[in-house]
């Protein structure tokens, strides 16, 4: 029972990550019709917003280690902690959640620049061209990050009080071994809020309505005299920001490196397509479904029966769903199915 409950939590947590990345991807994919292979790179850029923010807070004076004479070895003492002994350490401690403040404007701006400067010229181009240009873009972004930050993962800690685990088991009457990291619980809630926010935006604002209409039938919306172009810029920026925020919040779970986007890219495409093209709800549902399925497939008991099942379960489930349901879980006809 305890083990199953924990796997459900794991599944939800994974699902939250998949859903959040897929959400931005399906916005761009379903609304703008752009096959965006750079979406993973945008996720990674978000993570590096957190790294940059942390590095900025940690601009330090260097105290040389006198015992090492062969090269400069030093201990760092951040100016922030020297100048503001009270607030400084707290700021540093909370650098990951605080970096959201940096990530939102930066990611919106990056989204805006990319859409205006590059993506908008590709709306009417074949998917092949879109794949090539966004893949190229992803490589360029990756390599730039690698040139600045190196290839090694850069650990980002959660705030101290959230670094450990919550005794979830004692809350709900399960064993004391049922613990779960605070930060993962926060990630789960955060993801819920963002998903809800995006849905609310699409449901209740006029922008959102136009976008939803645009997902159905771009030409008609264009004919209505609505400036669809401007809306598209906003959608792309929004998707970029969602990817970025997903990246920021993921850093304490996975130390970010320049390549992390590519690792998620294929998976997020699978999630989006299993969810069904043009369906936000489908992408979210598929994200959680695949997350949970993957968690359970990794259990020793399951692997004992089907060795290696955890290696392929996501793809296996994807194949089954797509063969049974022609347009994924909730896909609509006419979006990218020809």
Partner 1 sequence: MTNENKFNFSRRGMLKAGAAGGLLAATPSFFMRDAWAASDFRNNPGNASEIKLGFNVPQTGPYSEEGKDELRAFKLAVKHLNGEGDGGMLNTFKPSVLKGNGVLGKKVGFATGDTQTKSDAARASAKRLIEKENVLMISGGSSSGVAVAVQSLCQEQGVVFMAGLTHSNDTTGKDKRRYGFRHFFNAYMSGRALGPVLEKEYGKERKAYHLTADYTWGWTQEESMKATTEELGWQTTATVRTPVGAGDFSQYITPVLNSGADVLILNHYGKDMINSLSQAVQFGLRDKQVNGKNFEIVVPLFSRLMAQGAGDAIKGILGTTNWNWKLQDEGSQAFVKSFGAEYGAPPSMAAHTCYVQTLLYANACEMAGTFYPPEVIKSLEGFKFDGMGNGATEYRAEDHQCFKDVLVVRGNENPSSQFDLLNVVETTPRSQVEYDWKIFGGELGPYKA
Partner 2 sequence: MKIGTMNDLTRFLIFAVVILAMPVWLDPLGGNYPDLLQKFAIYGIFAIGFNILFGLTGYLSFGHAAFLGVGSYAAVWSFKLFTMNAIPALMFGVLFAGALALIIGFLSLRRSGIYFSILTLAFAQMSYNLAYSVLTPITNGETGLQLAQSDPRVIDNMFVEASAGLPSTNLFGLTMSGYPGFYFCAALLILGFFISMRIFRSPFGLMLKGIKSNQNRMMYTGLNTRPYMLTAFVISGMYAGLAGSLLAITDPLAGAERMQWTASGEVVLMTILGGVGTLVGPMIGAGLIKYFENIFSAFNDTVLAEMFSYLPDALVELVVPVVGLFVGSGWHLTLGLLFVVVVIFLPGGIVEGVDKLVKFIRNREKNVGGKVTPQDQPGE
Binding site for partner 2 (CB under 8 A): 35, 118, 121, 124-129, 131-133, 135-140, 142-144, 147, 266, 269-270, 273-274, 277, 307-308, 311-312, 315-316, 318-319, 322-323, 326-328, 336-338
Number of Cβ within a 10 Å radius of residue 193: 10
- Containing 74, the helix (H) or strand (E) segment is strand 74-78
Contact 294, 310 (CB under 8 A): yes
Query: Where would I find the H helices in the chain?
Result: 2-26, 32, 39-57, 79-83, 87-93, 95-117, 127-149, 168-172, 182-204, 206-216, 218-223, 228-250, 260-275, 280-297, 300-305, 309-324
- Interface map 16-45 toward partner 1 (x if CB under 8 A): -x----------------------------
Nearer to partner 1, 146 or 332 (CB): 146
Scan residues 71-90 and list those touching partner 1 (CB under 8 A).
71-76
Tell me: does residue 59 bind partner 1 (CB under 8 A).
no
Q: Could you tell which of partner 1, partner 2, none binds residue 136, using a CB distance below 5 to 8 A set by kind?
A: partner 2
Q: Using the rule CB under 8 A, is 165 a contact of partner 1?
A: yes
Indicate whether 294 belongs to the interface with partner 1 (CB under 8 A). Answer: yes
Binding to partner 1 by residue 115, rule CB under 8 A? no
Residue 120's Cβ-count burial label (10 Å; 0-12, 13-18, 19+) is middle
Cβ contact 111:93 at 8 Å? no
Q: What is the DSSP letter of 158?
A: P
Q: Under the rule (CB under 8 A), what is the footprint of partner 1?
A: 2-3, 6-7, 9-11, 13-14, 17, 65, 67-68, 70-76, 146, 150-155, 157-158, 163-165, 175, 177-181, 183-184, 252-255, 257, 259-260, 263-264, 294-295, 298-300, 303, 308, 310-311
């Amino acid at each position: 029972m305890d083990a199953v409950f924990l796997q459900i939590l794991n599944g939800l947590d994974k699902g939250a990550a998949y859903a959040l990345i897929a959400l931005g991807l399906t916005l761009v994919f379903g609304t703008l019709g752009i096959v965006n292979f750079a979406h993973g790179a945008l996720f990674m850029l978000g993570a590096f917003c957190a790294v940059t923010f942390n590095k900025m807070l940690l601009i330090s004076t260097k105290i040389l280690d006198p015992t090492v004479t062969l090269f400069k070895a030093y201990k760092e003492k951040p100016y922030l902690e020297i100048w503001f002994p009270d607030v400084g350490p707290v700021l540093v401690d909370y650098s990951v959640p605080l970096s959201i403040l940096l990530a939102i404007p930066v990611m919106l701006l990056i989204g805006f620049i990319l859409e205006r400067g590059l993506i908008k010229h590709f709306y009417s181009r074949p998917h092949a061209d879109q794949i090539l240009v966004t893949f190229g873009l992803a490589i360029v972004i990756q390599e730039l990050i690698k040139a600045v930050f190196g290839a090694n993962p850069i650990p980002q800690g959660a705030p101290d009080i959230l670094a450990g685990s919550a005794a979830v088991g004692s809350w709900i009457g399960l064993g004391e071994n049922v613990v779960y990291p605070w930060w993962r619980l926060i990630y789960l809630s955060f993801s819920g809020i963002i998903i809800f926010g995006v849905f609310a935006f699409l449901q209740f604002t006029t922008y959102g309505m136009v976008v939803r209409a645009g997902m159905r039938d771009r030409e008609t919306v264009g004919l209505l005299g609505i400036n669809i172009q401007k809306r598209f810029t906003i959608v792309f920026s929004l998707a970029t920001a969602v990817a970025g925020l997903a990246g920021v919040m993921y850093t304490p779970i996975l130390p970010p490196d320049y390549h992390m986007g590519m690792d998620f890219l294929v998976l997020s495409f699978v999630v989006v397509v299993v969810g069904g093209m043009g369906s936000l709800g489908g992408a979210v549902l598929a994200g959680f479904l695949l997350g949970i399925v993957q968690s359970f497939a990794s259990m020793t008991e399951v692997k004992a029966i089907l060795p290696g099942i955890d290696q392929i379960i996501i793809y296996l489930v994807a194949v089954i769903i797509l063969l049974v349901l022609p347009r994924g879980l909730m896909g609509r006809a006419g979006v990218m199915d020809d």
